Amino acid sequence: MDLAFTKEEQAFREEVRSFFRDNVPPDTRRKLVEGRHLSKDEMVTWWRILNKKGWGVSHWPKQYGGTGWTSVQHYIFNEELQSYPAPQPLAFGVSMVGPVIYTFGNEEQKKKYLPRIANVDDWWCQGFSEPGSGSDLASLKTKAERKGDKWIINGQKTWTTLAQHADMIFCLCRTDPAAKKQMGISFIVFSMNSKGVTVRPIQTIDGGAEVNEVFFDDVEVPIENLIGEENKGWDYAKFLLGNERTGIARVGVSKERLRRIRDLAGKVESAGRPIIEDAAFREKLAACEIELKALELTQLRVVADEGKHGKGKPNPASSVLKIKGSEIQQTTTELLMEVIGPFAAPYDVHGDDGSNEAMDWTAQIAPSYFNNRKVSIYGGSNEIQRNIIAKAVLGL
């Protein structure tokens, strides 16, 4: 047992850190620190910088543009990226559909899609959830019917994150209505500009609109857009969801937020002195830091295990990551609310135009608190995670 990073790993951390320092556009970083939404341009600009460096799809196999890093290097990269902070690669392309295509797709599909995913020439979105199929995803109803050399797709997806920017969607569609629920599903990709695709924004409680409803009305999709085998889509979906076990803890994100809390708590006054001098507040902050330290260690255990024994058999501790990671993210947003106190209330009517400087740093704190309620719901709600632990780990 050894907690220390090797010299090479420490040098790698320095390299990554200084690359971020020199290359992340300062305004992009500031907006992330303040919890603001980024424009499509801001995100794509950064991802292309990352891709030019060769780090856009770092965890892919080398022949498709990956880096060949060790699992510890991936961990360091992610931690530095999250805690700088810089925008994380677009998960829907880089972490989700990309690995499905290079694992199950044919040569033509790999050639066609992978480089465009890496450079974000196509913005991808995920067509999984439906109004009637949330946690019970396999009950989905959107159907794809084969008609000559085309699929005809009808149905509705929901919670489609950033679909308003998307060029492409990967979609779970029912292709065999007679089969048992998991068996008749296929994994089909197509253009969001296809005729019959309608995107309608859903306004969320933070005032933002990062999720959408997407409607398919007789959308015609070329037959070759099926990935892998027909009716095997559920397997690919499970592969996709199981692929990213460690990033989900978002330890770096929470670290960055805790540093911000400490910084703000040194400036904001309560009872005539900085709130950090209040013992009760300090203890709450310490409690959160300790939880995060434990989570970081749990994550490192999983990372070290993967590095040594491969990704084949997941470490049981990996199921802790989503539950604790989301709880801690939510706690950090609660602590931020506590720091700013009554200044949580004003609504950011001016946006980020600099006209209300006094408020700039508080404006996004309440929305960020509201928005972060999602993290224990998405990606398999924490209740589903507990079902998984009960079944897969405890054998209940």
Partner 1 sequence: MDFDLSEEQRLLKESIDGLLTDSYDFESRKKYMKEKGGWSKAVWLKLADQGLLGLPFSEADGGFGGGGVETMIVMEALGKALVLEPYLPTVVIGGGFLRHAGTDAQKAAHVPGIVDGSKTLAFAQLEKNSRYDLFDVTTTAKKKGDGWIIDGEKFVVLNGENADTLIVTARTKGDRRDKTGIGVFLVPADAKGVTKKSYPTQDGLHAADISFTGVEVGADAALGNPEDSLALIERVVDEARIALCAEAVGLMDESLKTTVEYIKTRKQFGVPIGSFQSLQHRASDMFVAAEQARSMSMFATMAGDFEDAKERTIAIAAAKVQIGKSLKFVGQQAIQLHGGIGMTMEAKIGHYFKRLTMIENTFGDTDYHQRRVADSGGLI
In the structure encoding, which two tokens stand for residue 55, read together?
Answer: 């780090």
Binding residues with partner 1: total (CB under 8 A): 50
The interaxial angle of helices 40-53 and 26-33, nearest 10 deg, is 120
In the structure encoding, which two tokens stand for residue 378, read together?
Answer: 């998405």
Nearer to partner 1, 315 or 362 (CB): 315
Nearer to partner 1, 344 or 389 (CB): 389
Kindly state the smallest distance separating residue 24's Cβ from partner 1, in Å. Answer: 21
159 phi-psi bin (left φ>0, alpha ψ -120 to 50, beta other): left
The C-alpha angle 194, 197, 203, rounded to 5 degrees, equals 140
In the structure encoding, which two tokens stand for residue 287, read together?
Answer: 């409690």
Return the biggest CA–CA distance within the chain: 75
Nearer to partner 1, 209 or 393 (CB): 393
Kindly state the smallest distance separating residue 271's Cβ from partner 1, in Å. Answer: 17
- Identify the active-site residue in 9, 213, 244, 289: 244
Contact 123, 162 (CB under 8 A): yes
Nearer to partner 1, 199 or 317 (CB): 317
From candidates 68, 316, 341, 351, binder to partner 1 by CB under 8 A: 316
Kindly state the smallest distance separating residue 395's Cβ from partner 1, in Å. Answer: 7
Q: How far is CA 192 from the centre of its chain?
A: 21
- What is the four-CA torsion angle of 285, 286, 290, 295, rounded to 10 degrees? 10
Kindly state the smallest distance separating residue 74's Cβ from partner 1, in Å. Answer: 12
The number of CA neighbours under 13 Å toward the Cβ of 385 is 25
Instruction: For the segment 240-299, give every residue that binds partner 1 (CB under 8 A).
Output: 255, 258-259, 262, 279, 282-283, 285-287, 289-295, 297-298
Please confirm, yes or no, whether 244 is among the known catalytic residues: yes
Instruction: For the segment 55-74, give every residue that binds partner 1 (CB under 8 A).
Output: 72
Which residues participate in catalysis according to the annotation?
Answer: 244
Given the rule CB under 8 A, which residues bind partner 1? 1-6, 9, 72, 255, 258-259, 262, 279, 282-283, 285-287, 289-295, 297-298, 300-301, 303-305, 307-308, 316-317, 320, 323-324, 383, 385-387, 389-391, 393-396
